[in-house]
Amino acid sequence: MGDGPAPLARCDSPPPTPPVGSGVVTDLPPLDPAADVLALTRALVDVPSVSGSEGALADAVEAALRALGGLEVERVGDAVLARTNLGRPTRIVLAGHLDTVPIADNVPSRLEDGRLYGCGTSDMKAGDAVMLRLAGRFGVPGAAPAHDLTFVFYDNEEVEAVRNGLGRVARERRGWLYGDLAILLEPTDGEIEAGCQGTLRAVLEVPGRRAHSARSWLGANAIHGAAGILATLAAYRAREVDIDGCVYREGLNAVRIEGGVAGNVIPDACTVTVNFRYAPDRDEDAAEAHVREVFADAVAAGATLAVVDNAGGALPGLSEPAAAAFVAAVGRPARAKLGWTDVARFAAFGIPAVNYGPGDPQLAHTREEHVLVDRLQPAEDALVAHLSGSTA
């Protein structure tokens, strides 16, 4: 392990002027951490930040954090890092991604019947807004949180793992991620979701022989040849695994199929992409071995199988004191995280991590994505109480 955060002098002086070329935003309304959490959520949603295009929003977040005056702030690409250095015996890391999936005619945001609609409202700009509120409360001179705090706003979470901004921070500024507990403000509908599933993608390619469709018997139809793979998937029975009282349900599904050359050609190739969501009691190697076992007959019949992405999950880790204290503070039992989140990165460093945010995970990535307004303030209040020590 590398060194953790080095202690610094108190940040009583005005924040440093951003260096020339830092890209601090000048053409967008400034983000105000003192604004209420709904207003902050709207402001964040109204700045488009599809994966790979987070720069403007990262600029705005960086400017807001620097202006607070009580935080050490650092920029790593389009990830913005900030932390207190008060000499507390414990440190809590709060993390959230700035990017969204592609916009579906749902920006700017729209407030209607107690719901805030817009791309990223649930996943996860509502959580980012809560983080900014916490930074505004605890990241000013004279603030006295019970723990030192680190805030990590990062890019490219919604795309392939190699581009993930938190991964870049882990490689280039690992010490910024160390703490006694990490809380990712991913959408959990105000519940604590512990650990996460692993996720594997594999591509099965079925060979065939091209021919004119009027003389189909002279060829071998690769799309028809994929029928066995699809039948295997349809018949697959997923495991349910109980770990520390959290039930993880696995799933193996086709998520893409490609084949065909033209309307009068028997296709000579067909590919089926499958996604395996696996419980965290399997590691990456065990997950790959399972997928290869499931499709052993298809491979024996001539298909090829290539694993193109594999990110391991994270065990709940609820027995760790810092995690147990947070669960107790929220006052409700934790449940399993059905999905992959960056808690896995923290778990790989031996840092207990949980997901806790105001968004609804079932609305993530949908055209009608929204967050219930009445979920916002309770999430902020619970975190304020815990971070200030009033729930200890």
What CATH number corresponds to the domain at position 226?
A: 3.30.70.360
Express each pLDDT in 55-86 by its tens digit: 999 999 999 999 999 999 999 999 999 999 99
Q: What percent of the chain has pLDDT over 70?
A: 92
Give the span between the Cα atoms of 83 and 147, in whole angstroms.
11
Task: Give me the count of residues in the chain.
Answer: 392
- Domain check: are 184 and 322 in the same one? yes
Residue 2, in any domain of the structure: no
237 is written with which tokens? 């029975």
Is 3 known to be catalytic? no
- Domain check: are 186 and 115 in the same one? yes
Give the span between the Cα atoms of 97 and 290, in whole angstroms.
31
Last residue of a domain, one of 293, 311, 329: 311
Q: Decide if pLDDT at 18 tops 70.
A: no
Which pLDDT score is estimated for 240? 97
- Domain check: are 223 and 257 in the same one? yes
Count the neighbouring beta carbons within 10 Å of the beta carbon of residue 161.
Answer: 17
The one catalytic residue in 99, 128, 193, 380 is: 99
Last residue of a domain, one of 311, 342, 374: 311
Give the span between the Cα atoms of 333 and 260, in whole angstroms.
50
- Domain check: are 364 and 294 in the same one? no
Residue 29, in any domain of the structure: no
Q: What is the mean pLDDT of residues 103-122?
A: 97
Is 205 known to be catalytic? no
- Domain check: are 183 and 66 in the same one? yes
- Domain check: are 125 and 141 in the same one? yes
Which pLDDT score is estimated for 8? 30
Residue 163, in any domain of the structure: yes
What pTM was estimated for this model as a whole?
0.83
Last residue of a domain, one of 269, 287, 311: 311
Q: What is the mean pLDDT of residues 272-283?
A: 97
Domain count, the chain: 2
Which pLDDT score is estimated for 277? 97
Q: Which domain holds residue 324?
A: 37-195+314-388
Closest Cα to residue 210, out of 193, 199, 223, 197? 223
Closest Cα to residue 137, out of 253, 261, 36, 256? 36
- Domain check: are 259 and 368 in the same one? no
The one catalytic residue in 54, 78, 157, 369 is: 157
376-388 and 321-330 helices, crossing angle to 10°:
130
- Domain check: are 381 and 332 in the same one? yes
Q: What is the mean pLDDT of residues 218-222?
A: 97
Phi, psi of 142 (to 5 degrees): 90, -10
Q: Decide if pLDDT at 6 tops 60.
A: no
